[in-house]
Amino acid sequence: MKTIAMESIIQFEEGLIGFYDCKRFLLVEREEMAPFRWLQSTERPDVGFLVIDPSLVVSGYRAVIPNREWESLGLNDREAGLVLVTCSVGPTTAESTGNLQAPLLVNYETKAGKQVILTETGLASRHPLL
């Protein structure tokens, strides 16, 4: 298995929606999974998420995330941060979705992350990936 980027532990101080007890996640990037990545809880082996960069699904996605959300992670430049959305794999590719309403923001320098809820964007929690 070839790694395309270093695996990183990301600290989500507030946990993730529905998994508030999970604060530390390992972000795994593997060539055979691209463009997807795997976000695995280090506290609970039964909790892991398939994630993707939402800009691969919706052009200009970063622009809908308010600056204050990036600034709360110590980022003044939204392009310096990493944004991911969790995915649900459906029975067919056409039925697979991404949660564009609740992205995960990461300051890759400090390895700090947070999940935000975007309201009034028109984006769905089950947005088709295709």
Q: Locate tokens 């320098």: which residue?
A: 109
Cα 25 from chain centroid (whole Å): 11
Quick: pLDDT tens for 20-56: 999 999 999 999 999 999 999 999 999 999 999 999 9
Task: Evaluate whether 87 touches 50 at the Cβ level (below 8 Å).
Answer: yes
Token pair belonging to 54: 């939402």
Predicted TM-score (pTM) of this structure: 0.90
Q: Which residues, 6+ apart, have CB-to-CB distance to 116 below 8 Å? A: 65, 69, 102, 103, 105
Given pLDDT bands bounded at 50, 70 and 90, which one contains residue 93?
confident
Q: Which domains occur in the chain, in start order?
A: 8-128 (2.30.290.10)
Quick: pLDDT tens for 76-92: 888 889 999 999 988 88
